[in-house]
Structure 1
Amino acid sequence: MAEDRESGEFKDAGQTEPVDISGFYEMALKPFQEYVRNQNAQIGKMLAESAAVRFGPVLPRIVVNSPLIQMNAMAETFRRQMADLTGFNDMVRQAVKPLAEAYRPPQWHSVFGSLGDIINRLYPENLRHDIPDPDDLEKLLVEEGIPLMWVPGPQTVRALLDATDAIARRRIIGRRWKGIASDCEAVLEEVEHRDVQDARSFALEAARALRAGHASAAQALSANLLDSLLQRHFDQAVRIQLTTNDFKTKGIKFKLEDHKFKVACTFAPVWYAHAKYYPKNGDPIPRSFGRHASAHGVSRTQYSRINAVYALMLVTSVIKFFDTELPK
């Protein structure tokens, strides 16, 4: 039995009367192609990498040969075949057979399994269930300086993505400070690379200080530990590239697309935290966490529990980055 796409009724597949299939592509294949095209565009944008940032041994580039690209080509071939047909006859059934074979459940499982592998390689566990789109990434990482790599936990990530604006997101971080401190401790406990063990210990001290009510101590330690990590693991050229924040004076933002994916997502908030602050020029002390303000603008304006949380998240994500990316 074959379904009549227009009426929703079923007819005998052996009938000789031609069936008009002029709308088949628009109804069935075109939406599928649009889905494939959108997925390819999304993956391509998210995997955009650059050779601009190099540190130590060059990190391996991630090469993606998405099965969706192959599926898109197959769908286009099928569309061309269908365009020449006038009836749902044996010729059509022969054309459909290869496509049906290609899209059997095992094949689909393979496709989405491959996408899952890509996601697992790119995204830390806290982002795999609620993957931010590029606009959200730029907004939270670059415009607001919120660390998202490895910390905070997935529930807080979801709350941040659902929040209406920057003020609401900052309040969420302030309300959830205990849970976020626990998220940081859990990630730090898993750090294994020998070259970041000392940093891991100091970051855990900062987390314990925060939990014990010593927010200023936690912020100061996290801010200085961040600087020490950058000094130790990046050469001067890379440090300058990742921390030169001229947005206030030149309007130049950190460009995610200029860097490898994990580098971009980890260090965009680092760039944000390095906003220029010169007391000698009469710059007002910023209320948001800043590396320079933490060092040169010690005050109740800069030092606060919420800024200590930002600093701890930031240094935790940087330590975990080095834990996963430094040569073993």
Structure 2
Amino acid sequence: MAENEAPEGPEPEQVQDSADVDQGEPVDLSRFYASTIKPLQEYLDGQNAQIRKMLTGMAAAQMRPTLPRIVVENPLIRMSAAAETLRKQVADMTGFNDMIRQALQPMHDFYPAQWQNVFASLAEATRRLYPENLRDAAPQIRDLEKLLVDEGIPLMWVPGPRTVRALLDAPTAVARRRTIGQRWEDIVEDCEAVLEEVKHPAMQDACGFALDVVAALRAGHTNPAQALAANLLDSLLQRHFDKAARVQLTNNDFKSNGIKFQLDDYKFKVACTFAPVWYAHAKYYPKNGDPIPRTFGRHPSAHGVSRAQYSRINALYALMLVTSVIKFFDTELPS
């Protein structure tokens, strides 16, 4: 180890157990139909005319829902109540097909062959909402809230599937942080692999600096690695979001007001990418005597340089964050 890290203390102050999602309510067909169409509209548009006609006819005969459109130009678009319902219902992927069959059983009785294909295709399309590193694990919403929001662990595109599984299986926040420290070489390799796949021209300079962080960590230069990653994160937000969006995504005053980042407020990729960015922007005021946090933070990395804040584990958090954000922009920026 290039740095002497202080022993792990108690779990971070912000870590809380998220309430389990209530999955006992009966399925409301009208809400289910509307919520399924919105995030999967691109998929459904490619289905044949006969299937689309069946879906439309079913809706018209029963509940007559409207079909909301996705404004893809705005990555910060707030999800509708229907889309929120979908997110909660399909978070547990293991029961997705059964839920659809129960909701649409009358139509299934009349069109068994056609609906069998629709069920399978919808499940696969929903599975693809996850980046590749999360598809096998398919974490439930309570797991995402716990790791992304309460603990600030990046999960989008990095780390790799085996580390994701280890983090989901770890019993406590301290154990998850320890897992990241123990798997640091694998995580650095995962980040390097994702960065090398980034193709968008606007992300090439940022990729170069992120790969410098990779090289610094491998060489044992953890302090420079953390400092560069923290400033690169700030530069990415400044360059690609206006002030209102930056404030919305980074206004973390949880310690004062108890208000957490709400995954429900954003499209799936935005929510999961920027929840740990929000966590890393927890308010920190040295002039008020705030203690320097041990978990990675953008503000203490700049204004609280110390052995408490600077460590290899925190440098890994910073690298995973900038890798996730770079990959997000790689997939979302217009070509």
TM-score category, normalised to shorter length: 0.7 to 0.9
User: CA RMSD of the aligned region, Å?
Assistant: 3.3
Q: Which runs of 5+ in 2 are unaligned?
A: 1-24, 41-67, 91-95
Structure 1 residue 115 displacement after superposition: 1.9
Of 105, 111, 117 in structure 1, the residue corresponding to residue 119 of structure 2 is 111
Task: Specify whether residues 268 and 162 from structure 1 end up closer, same or farther in structure 2 by C-alpha distance, changes over 3 A only.
Answer: same
Structure 1 residue 113 displacement after superposition: 2.4
Structure 1 residue 324 displacement after superposition: 0.2
Structure 1 residue 260 displacement after superposition: 1.2
**Match of residue 276 from structure 1:** 283
Q: Work out whether 1:134 is the aligned partner of 2:150.
A: no
Q: Distance in 1 between the 2:200 and 2:220 partners? A: 30
Q: Distance in 1 between the 2:331 and 2:236 partners? A: 14
Instruction: Map Cα deviations across residues 171-216 of structure 1 (whole Å, 9 max, x no partner).
Output: 0000000000000000000000111110011001101110111111
Q: Work out whether 1:58 is the aligned partner of 2:65.
A: no
Q: Distance in 2 between the 1:58 and 1:203 partners? A: 26
Instruction: Map Cα deviations across residues 118-148 of structure 1 (whole Å, 9 max, x no partner).
Output: 321x211000111111111100000000000
For residue 123 of structure 1, what is the amino acid of its counterpart? Y
Q: Which runs of 4+ in 1 moved over 6 A?
A: 33-37, 60-70
Structure 1 residue 112 displacement after superposition: 1.6
Q: Work out whether 1:206 is the aligned partner of 2:210.
A: no
Q: Distance in 2 between the 1:168 and 1:209 partners? A: 26
TM-score calculated relative to the size of structure 1: 0.73
**Match of residue 237 from structure 1:** 244
Task: Specify whether residues 108 and 60 from structure 1 end up closer, same or farther in structure 2 by C-alpha distance, changes over 3 A only.
Answer: farther
Q: Distance in 2 between the 1:199 and 1:133 partners? A: 31
Q: How many pairs were matched up?
A: 265
Q: Distance in 2 between the 1:292 and 1:320 partners? A: 23
Determine which structure has more spread, i.e. the larger CA radius of gyration.
Answer: 1
For residue 148 of structure 2, what is the amino acid of its counterpart? L
Identity %: 62
Q: Work out whether 1:249 is the aligned partner of 2:265.
A: no
Check conservation: 2:216, 2:222, Cα contact below 8 A: yes
Q: Distance in 2 between the 1:295 and 1:73 partners? A: 52
SS in 2 for 1:288: coil
TM-score calculated relative to the size of structure 2: 0.71
Q: Distance in 2 between the 1:300 and 1:292 partners? A: 15
Q: Distance in 1 between the 2:321 and 2:183 partners? A: 16
Task: Specify whether residues 138 and 213 from structure 1 end up closer, same or farther in structure 2 by C-alpha distance, changes over 3 A only.
Answer: same
Structure 1 residue 70 displacement after superposition: 7.0
Q: Work out whether 1:304 is the aligned partner of 2:311.
A: yes
Task: Specify whether residues 70 and 294 from structure 1 end up closer, same or farther in structure 2 by C-alpha distance, changes over 3 A only.
Answer: closer
**Match of residue 161 from structure 2:** 154
**Match of residue 185 from structure 1:** 192
Task: Specify whether residues 60 and 174 from structure 1 end up closer, same or farther in structure 2 by C-alpha distance, changes over 3 A only.
Answer: closer
Structure 1 residue 308 displacement after superposition: 0.4
Q: Which runs of 5+ in 1 are unaligned?
A: 1-32, 79-97
**Please, which moves more after superposition, 107-116 or 122-131?**
107-116
